[in-house]
Amino acid sequence: MHDAATHDDSKGQYFWVWGALLVLTAIEVVLGYKQVFSPVRMLEILLVLSIIKSALIIGYFMHLKFEKALMRWLLVFSVVACFIIMYFFFFPDAGRVLPPPNGVGLG
């Protein structure tokens, strides 16, 4: 754990992160209404923006950026690995059982 002085010196960065998160949220809302992308592309863009926002929250607000490298990598690797496994369980099989009909879905 860092001492209080270190944190107090860099308190401003948390306001920047908060501002960045609000701006990213505003971009998401605007994209939701503009509909300049196809729905599947929208899903991808929104997911990428959400991952950026979550990285900011985990790195700064949850202080993972300041933890030991071993803890950082072990936590991130294990959770990401579990999600990748989950992805391979869900989607290929789901697509095989119920292929998306033309013109249906994401619209």
Partner 1 sequence: MADATLQHDAVQHGLPGAFEAPLFGAYSKKVGMWLFLASDSLTFGALLFAFSYNRIYTAWPTPFHVQSIVNSTIMTACLLSSSLTMVMAVFAAQRGDRGWTRNWLLATMAFGTAFIVLHGMEWSKLIDEGLTLPMFPKPAHAAVGEMADISKNTPQFPATFFGLTAMHMLHVTIGVIYLGVVAFRKWFLPVLAVLWAAGYFLIPADNVFHYGIHALGLGLVVAAIILFLKPKDYDAQDVEVSGLYWHFVDLVWMFIFPLVYLLSTKIT
Residues in contact with partner 1 by CB under 8 A are: 1, 3-4, 7-8, 11, 14-15, 18, 21-22, 25, 28-29, 31-33, 35, 39-40, 42-43, 46-47, 49-50, 53-54, 57-58, 61-63, 67-68, 70-71, 74-75, 78-79, 82-83, 86-87, 90-91, 94-95, 98, 100, 104-107
Distance (Å, rounded) from C-alpha 63 to C-alpha 50?
Answer: 18
Tell the smallest beta-carbon distance from residue 57 to partner 1 (Å): 5
Distance (Å, rounded) from C-alpha 67 to C-alpha 2?
Answer: 9
Tell the smallest beta-carbon distance from residue 8 to partner 1 (Å): 6
What does the DSSP assignment read for 35-102? --S-HHHHHHHHHHHHHHHHHHIIIIIT-GGGS-HHHHHHHHHHHHHHHHHHHHHHHHHHHHHSPPPT
Tell the smallest beta-carbon distance from residue 19 to partner 1 (Å): 10
